[in-house]
Chain A
Amino acid sequence: MNMASNIKSTTTSIASDLKPTGIKLFFKKLVQQRILVLMSVPFLIWLFLFKYLPLWGWTTAFQKYRPAKSFSEQEWVGLDQFKFLFQDERFLRVLRNTLAQSGINLALGFITAIILALLLNELRGMIFKRVVQTVTYMPHFLSWVVAAGIIQATLAPDGIINMLMIKLGMIEKGQEILFLGIPKDFWTILGLGTVWKDLGWNTIVYLAAMATIDPAQYEAAEMDGAGRFRRMWNVTLPGIKSVIVVLLILNIGNLMESGFEAQYLLKNGMNIDYSENIDIFVLTYGINQSNFSLAVAAGMFKSLVSIVLLFIANNIAKRAGESRLF
């Protein structure tokens, strides 16, 4: 249009030495940075198309959705789906399972990964270090189908654990324990299984963070007479603290995602009270029953809780004066 005149008028306003405020300032900056603004347009469109437009689908949660009918033909039911969810004892149970499973995974995963990273960092024998790293992160590349098969075989009545227990005289032959059939042990099995699978992978980021610590700090600490554990405690750990906090915030935001494959593959009739999580619930009572509205309502609930958790965690970090997301 008349870009030229615009520029002209802004230049004159600068020339007139009046400090622009409010809307004027906004437009001034807009014009000044027009190239940047234009460059970001495609990404905003992308963001809108793929991240915000699908939120339209959330309307499904307030309908009694029938597939293959148009939007105007759907029956609106208000909060009925949510009411059903929160009154269903099954849903409260799967909610408990979801939080417990991911809580256990979070705590176990964090502690083991940091400890392993600290230990690896202290190793001087490169070959041994590499071997340990490779061995621990190999299982990450297995799909859960294979991993669950391995876990099942290990825990089976004729599996290695029962065999060991018999050899050690802890149980009699014929009294093999059906580990996957003990409901309360499911969380432990899942937690340990996840640690086994992802331990090595999770250490990578901490090792990278440790690599950025200035060696001079170690030398100084050594001069001051700090031993190995002192150095770990007073140099390495504070050095990676910011990474730990950021990862913790991110993971707390994901607390409602306890995973799907592992539970789905390891669950059976006996441990269902402790293995079924929200995702499996959505599959059996939402998608399998063609009750898509319920599935969407559950998914929506999950997202909302995740956002709240993320804000809380971030806020705590902020108050504690730590690095944070925003």
Chain B
Amino acid sequence: MAKKLLLTCMAAVLVFTAACSNGNNGKNNASSTASSSAPAATESAAASEKPLDKVTFSYFLGVANAPDVNTNETTIGKAFEDQTGVNFKIEHLVGDLKAKIGTMIASNDYPDVINPDAGIDQLVDAGAFMDLTDLIEKSPNIKRVYGPFLNQMKAADGKIYYLPISAQVGDFVPDPEINQGAFWIQRRVLKEAGYPKIKTLDEYTKLIEDYVAKHKDEDLTGLISLTHDWRFFATSNVPMHLDGYPNDGNVEVDMTTFEAKTYYTTDSTKRWLQKLNDLNAKGLFDKASFVDNYDQYLAKLSSKKVLGFFDYGWQSANARNLLVDAARQDPTQDDFVYFPMPLTWDGGKDQLLDPPGFVKNRGIGISVSAKDPERIMGYWDNLLKEENQILKSWGIKGETYEVDDKGRFYRTAEQIKKIDEPFNLSFGFRYFNWDWPQYGANSTLSDGNAFAPGFQPEVFQMRLTDADKTILEKYGVKTYSELFAAPDDRAWYPAWGIPKTQGSPEQIWETTKDEVTKKFYPKLVLAKPADFDKVWEEYLTAFGKLDTAGYEKWYTEQIKAAIEAAK
């Protein structure tokens, strides 16, 4: 018995040591590759044709917009790996961003590369990013693209901790689609009303009201609104846009005095909430808007039952694209596609399209835990070469785009059909679309082609269905953005992109403001119409406790500084 036990023990020990030594070998191999790659890295920027040892860096992306991936598993990423020997393992956000960033800071252990979206101030504050100034000096392509913006990219201590994602290169091309804020309405509503030209919110709600009255049995929802979590601004920003201002966040900036003013207690906000209250009383507003989460909201938008809503294009795109795809398969479904409208209170000039701007408080940086920053910078520098920007944006010539005899890029109908979501994922368009150092979306290439295929008029025209063309024709425009007024130049734009330090009065103002508005807006909208004014008074009292004047003063200073810097 004892002997047997001993034997078993010995066998176990043997197996265990074997496993361990295996593991050790594996580790040794890995570390030897890593160490041998280090000397090669310095040359990587200069001589990319030289074969390099392969290395994988971890990349945390604070936006949950795609499945996790190794970039070399995509066609585009594979090409970059062949050029530089670098692969990135992208980990997307799961759960709450701020909590994730907080844990990262607390453990002081970072992925090699971080693109923390809204969590960037926290990381800069914690000293999580390394200073990139010297590395930028050594990278010709990064210098070419980011050169004009270097001063704006400096943190308070004069160092550069991350590369923002929206550096404008070449000429400015407007987006023919609406990616920014708009009042969306189902095409069948417009069709039935004979394609009226709508300018004000009142006309818009009247249109919806009439349609629902005529189609009583169809169980339609007049209007819904997105309120979930941080996306609440899709509801609270509306008065700013109806006043005729672009999305500067929490403030409207006067174009003559450059004073920043919040709009949460203005008549405009009161009027907007009263409008929703009125629609709610008439049964036209979906109450559940205030309890639904983002997924439920998207599900409702794609259910074809909702006639109208206000939202930003990028935020509702997932749901709207489903409807567009359905209409492409079956033209009768075109009725349910949403059409964007620029509305204001008085029918005056709207400012819903983004002016050219430089978002300074989002970007990608190298963490202090990174093994080999030169190599990462080398990859980015290589990525910013024009031919590589074309590859990540347009793809491969003959496969995902064509060039005509005048040198214009375009896509054939088959290519457009081929490039759907699964293709975007496997080819890598999805992963290299954004979130890397790159040309800003409105940029042009050196030969005059648009950097982003969607902004190239030839591609936009090809993507339109017959029904799209019909409705654009009815409104006398060639692109959706032509419906909207041209944006005015705003040197500070976007004001929400001006960085705020952690725990500053500005940030605390924003957190408390969120809490007050999130609590009172639903109360105001769902109140009995007779009680509205009473609740509004309560709201004003609650909001009055905030130091709004201090917040506005801080913003006015920042905006004036930004205007000075741009002179």
Contact = CB atoms under 8 A, between A and B. Distances in A.
Given A67-B125, A287-B98, 12 more contacts: A68-B126, A156-B288, A157-B286, A157-B287, A176-B287, A180-B291, A181-B291, A269-B232, A269-B518, A283-B99, A289-B507, A290-B105
State the main secondary structure of chain B at its contact with A.
helix
Interface residues of B, number: 35
11 contacts: A67-B108, A67-B126, A68-B126, A158-B288, A178-B288, A268-B522, A272-B515, A284-B511, A289-B502, A289-B507, A290-B102
B106 A292 contact: yes
A288 interface: yes
B240 interface: no
Contacts of B96: 283, 288
A273 B518 CA distance: 11
Contact of B503 (A174, A178, A289): A289
A108 B469 CA distance: 62
Contact of B227 (A176, A269, A273, A290): A269
Interface in B68-97: 96
A270 interface: yes
B511 A269 contact: no
A288 B102 contact: yes
B523 interface: yes
Contacts of A154: none
A152 interface: yes
B142 interface: no
Nearest to B127: A68
Nearest to A287: B102
Nearest to B521: A269
A291 interface: yes
A288 B519 CA distance: 19
Given A178-B526, A290-B126, A290-B502, A268 B507 contact: no
Q: Which of A67, A269, A287 has the most CB of B within 10 A?
A: A269
A181 B519 contact: no
B291 A290 contact: no
A181 B521 CA distance: 12
6 shortest interchain CB distances as A-B pairs: A269-B518, A288-B98, A287-B102, A67-B126, A68-B127, A67-B105
A178 B291 contact: yes
B122 A269 contact: no
A291 B522 contact: no
Contacts of A180: 291
A195 B293 CA distance: 24
Given A178-B290, A181-B287, A290-B102, A270 B519 contact: yes
Given A156-B288, A269-B227, A272-B519, A287 B126 contact: no
Contacts of A178: 287-288, 290-291, 526
Nearest to A90: B515
Contacts of A158: 288
Q: Which of B99, B102, B283, B523 has the most CB of A within 10 A?
A: B102
A84 to B, nearest CB: 12
Interface of B: 96, 98-99, 102, 105-106, 108, 122, 125-128, 227, 232, 283, 286-288, 290-291, 293, 296, 502-503, 507-508, 511, 515, 517-519, 521-523, 526
A157 B98 contact: no
A289 B296 CA distance: 28
Given A269-B227, A283-B96, A68 B287 contact: no
B422 to A, nearest CB: 26
A301 B507 CA distance: 26
Given A67-B105, A272-B515, A287 B290 contact: no
Nearest to A271: B291
Interface string A52-81: 000000000000001110000000000000
Given A178-B287, A268-B290, A287-B99, A67 B522 contact: no
Contacts of B502: 289-290
A158 B102 CA distance: 38
Interface string A226-269: 00000000000000000000000000000000000000000011
A270 B283 contact: no
Nearest to B125: A290
A77 to B, nearest CB: 13
Given A68-B126, A181-B522, A290-B503, A268 B291 contact: yes
A292 B515 CA distance: 20
A174 B288 contact: no
A94 to B, nearest CB: 12
Contacts of A174: 283
A80 to B, nearest CB: 14
B278 to A, nearest CB: 15
Given A269-B232, A269-B521, A287-B99, A156 B291 contact: yes
Nearest to B522: A270
Contacts of B518: 268-269, 272
Contact of A290 (B108, B122, B521): B122
A174 B221 CA distance: 11
B526 A68 contact: no
B513 to A, nearest CB: 12
A18 B126 CA distance: 66
Contacts of B286: 157
Contacts of A152: 291, 293, 296
A287 B518 CA distance: 20
B356 to A, nearest CB: 32
Contacts of B521: 269
Contacts of A284: 511
A270 B290 contact: yes
Interface string A271-313: 0110000000001110111111000000000000000000000
A222 B108 CA distance: 68
A17 to B, nearest CB: 42
Q: Which of B122, B128, B507 has the most CB of A within 10 A?
A: B122
A156 B290 CA distance: 11
Nearest to B228: A268
B131 to A, nearest CB: 14
A92 to B, nearest CB: 15
Nearest to A291: B503
A288 B503 CA distance: 10
Interface string A96-115: 00000000000000000000
Nearest to B107: A67
